[in-house]
Amino acid sequence: MRCDIGIDLGTQSVRMAELKSGPVMSAPAALAFREGNNSPICAGEIAQRLVGRTCEGVSVCYPLRDGVLENNLYAARMFQWLFKRSEGVNTRRRFGAMITCAPFARPVQKEAMLTAAIDAGAAEAVLVRSDAAAAVGAGLDLNSPEAKLLVDVGAGKITATLFTFGRVAAFGYLPYGLNRIDDRVRRILRSDYGYRVGAACAEEIKLTLGSAMPDKAPRDVLMHATGISMAQRMPVNFDVETKPVLDACEDVVAELARLCCTVIDNAPEELAADLNDAGAVLTGGGAVMTELDRRIGQALGIPCRVADAPESCAIRGLHRIMEDPNAYRAMLQGQQTRQVW
Ligand SMILES: Nc1ncnc2c1ncn2[C@@H]1O[C@H](COP(=O)(O)OP(=O)(O)OP(=O)(O)O)[C@@H](O)[C@H]1O
Ligand SMILES: [Mg+2]
């Protein structure tokens, strides 16, 4: 099967690659709908700007939640929007799509993802494990016998996978990603400090003050933020300390470190020993979190590095798989072809 277009649909971002030209675009995976209307009024960057600013009757939606498909209509509309923007697809009458999928997605969610791509106009659709695509994009040779540990840190899911001989030897996941830190920051600021802040502001606070090594992070840094004071009931500027942010980060990072240890514990002895030389590789947008590589390396006792351009590893890997699908047959997860009656 020939795939002309590759899509890495994530909880927060969507990335697209074309067979001929490689990765071509990255945008927020957001769609804005008017009430009672099934066609989005806008998508991507423009829809993302509407988050928290929509008027009555307009809502911003995401096809995925916690790394897996939540709404197949939104997914179909997102695919349609991408297909329209793809040159490779517009010049062909029939085209195939290759889409990343969380390894832990349930069969019904995988089936719904394939159906959404077919409904959006693809003649054929095939799913690929998102962790395998990220590993290929990080430059790991999956088909070699040495074990490789790949930790993909995304917005809605975190996966840790041990690969060998092109197959998965051990796997573990958290059904949430670094967006959970944003939620915690919002909750702590509301309950302990009396300020309400928006999702974008909470993410900015995490990016600025967050760290995976709370003991090493500077404690005397303050960040200016704008929110609503619940006491005064009006917008105010206030300073955020590092403590609540580091506490929020620690909850998620500690679980992430535990997940990696469990995956290695469950691996066959020889493979776990290989990791002493190869180490672990971090991919996904969250891989660049301050000191995350050092924290995981310390927890596992092996070297740990962040892949080059970690946020785009999955789409670069997906493009490589599109070029040579037979070499990665074991990582394909399901296929659907449009029925012509
Ligand atoms: N420096 C940073 N510190 C902490 N978090 C970060 C940093 N940079 C990016 N992130 C977080 O990484 C996440 C985005 O990762 P990514 O783009 O890989 O997610 P996704 O592919 O949309 O989601 P998923 O694959 O989990 O479905 C967001 O939660 C973002 O806030
Ligand atoms: Mg992702």
Domain boundaries 5-132+313-337, corresponding CATH code: 3.30.420.40
pLDDT score of 218: 86
pLDDT score of 189: 95
pLDDT score of 341: 60
Full DSSP string of 135-152: HHHTT--TTSSS-EEEEE
pLDDT score of 52: 80
pLDDT score of 340: 64
Residues of the chain within CATH 3.30.420.40 domain(s) are 5-132+313-337, 134-176+249-312
pLDDT score of 91: 78
Q: Copy the structure tokens of residue 240.
A: 């955020």
- Which residue from 7, 11, 12 has its CB within 8 A of the most atoms of ligand 1, so it is best to mutate? 12
Q: Copy the structure tokens of residue 205.
A: 């606070």
Residue 151 has a CB neighbour count (10 Å cut-off) of 30
- Whose structure tokens read 């590095």? 305
Distance between CA 58 and CA 111 in Å, rounded? Answer: 29
- Which superfamily is assigned to 134-176+249-312 in CATH? ATPase, nucleotide binding domain (3.30.420.40)
pLDDT score of 98: 96
Q: What is the pTM of this model?
A: 0.94
Residues of the chain within CATH 3.90.640.10 domain(s) are 179-244
CATH architecture of 179-244: Alpha-Beta Complex (3.90)
> Which residues of the chain register pLDDT less than 70?
340-341
pLDDT score of 109: 95
pLDDT score of 84: 93
What digits encode the pLDDT tens for the residues 74-101?
999 999 999 999 987 877 889 999 999 9
Ligand 1, atom 2, residue with closest C-alpha: 289
- C-alpha 152 to ligand 1 mean position (Å): 10
Ligand 1 near 200 CB (within 6 A): no
Ligand 1 near 331 CB (within 6 A): no
- C-alpha 250 to ligand 1 mean position (Å): 16
Q: Which atom of ligand 1 is nearest to the CA of 179?
A: 29
> For strand 31-34 and strand 58-61, is the pairing parallel, antiparallel, or unpaired?
antiparallel
DSSP, collapsed to helix, strand or coil, labels residue 87 as: helix
In the sheet that holds 5-9, the strands lie side by side as 22-28, 13-18, 5-9, 96-101, 124-129, 332-337
DSSP, collapsed to helix, strand or coil, labels residue 127 as: strand
